[in-house]
Amino acid sequence: AQSVTQLGSHVSVSEGALVLLRCNYSSSVPPYLFWYVQYPNQGLQLLLKYTSAATLVKGINGFEAEFKKSETSFHLTKPSAHMSDAAEYFCAVSDSGTGNQFYFGTGTSLTVIP
Amino acid sequence: GAVVSQHPSRVICKSGTSVKIECRSLDFQATTMFWYRQFPKQSLMLMATSNEGSKATYEQGVEKDKFLINHASLTLSTLTVTSAHPEDSSFYICSARDRGGAMGEAFFGQGTRLTVV
């Protein structure tokens, strides 16, 4: 069975400050891990993914995440928050392959304070 | 990246009528598509897995007679909400994985906001 837990349903940061969104996973097999961003009334856009290659993954818009097997974590970071980063962020896990479903976390709403 | 087009983006219908939502993979073939439902301020709940040429697999608690899924081709899956009621009002999102691409990533449609009045 697979699952993800996102700690903190709401995170607020000041513009220019570090963004840290937490995600811990549970998986009985080597996982594929993803971070998606959702803007109001829109679908999900992939930020980055981990598929068993480099443990530090760089994504779009300056985001990156590090896969830490010992901590079963895949936290999302960005050195300097922009106003445009305000959105809902979802962590997801999949076991592999093209036919298997994703398991999503409950989401973290990021607010950026000017 | 690959594109998944979902239509319509918004629909308002009267209680008791049916609504069809289309999900198309525009530049890749998708053997499997997924349908999700999202309530306000909540995560995505998987409703069903749509398999091309065969019956959809529904998650526990999802009424298969109410949420009809058809996956007639490798680029199109449809979700029909039959005899819609106000409690069916929600945001519905489809996704697809590229059968010919690198493993992992799923591509999402832009979602459909259904309001039943």
Mean pLDDT of the residues in chain A: 90
| pLDDT at residue B81, rounded to an integer | 97
A99 close to B (CB below 8 A): yes
Instruction: State residue B116 phi and psi, 5-degree precision.
Output: -105, 125
- The answer to whether B61 contacts chain A (CB < 8 Å) is no
With contacts defined as CB-CB under 8 Å, which chain B residues touch A34?
104-106
Cα separation, A23 vs A33, in Å, equals 10
Q: How far is CA B101 from CA A98, A99, B9, B94, in A?
A: 8, 12, 27, 18
- The answer to whether A98 and B99 have CB atoms below 8 angstroms apart is yes
C-beta of residue A66 within 8 angstroms of C-beta of residue A74: yes
pLDDT in tens, B40-63: 878 889 999 988 888 899 999 999
Backbone angles phi and psi of B41, in degrees to 5: 60, 20
* Closest B-chain CA to A97: B103
- The pLDDT of residue A40: 84
Distance from CA of B56 to the nearest CA of A (A): 13
pLDDT digits (tens, 9 = 90+) for A14-42: 999 999 999 999 987 778 899 999 998 78
Looking at residues A36-57, what average pLDDT do you find? 88
The distance of B46 to chain A (nearest Cα, Å) reads 8
| Residue numbers of chain B with a pLDDT score lower than 50 | none
Q: Are B4 and B24 in contact (CB under 8 A)?
A: yes
Distances in Å between the alpha carbon of A6 and those of A54, A90, B20, B99? 22, 8, 33, 29
DSSP character string of chain B: ---EEEE-SEEEE-TT--EEEEEEESSS--SEEEEEEE-TTS-EEEEEEEETTS--EEPTT--TTTEEEEEEETTEEEEEE-S--GGG-EEEEEEEE-TTS-SS-EEE---EEEEE-
| Residue in the structure block whose two tokens are 């998986």 | A27
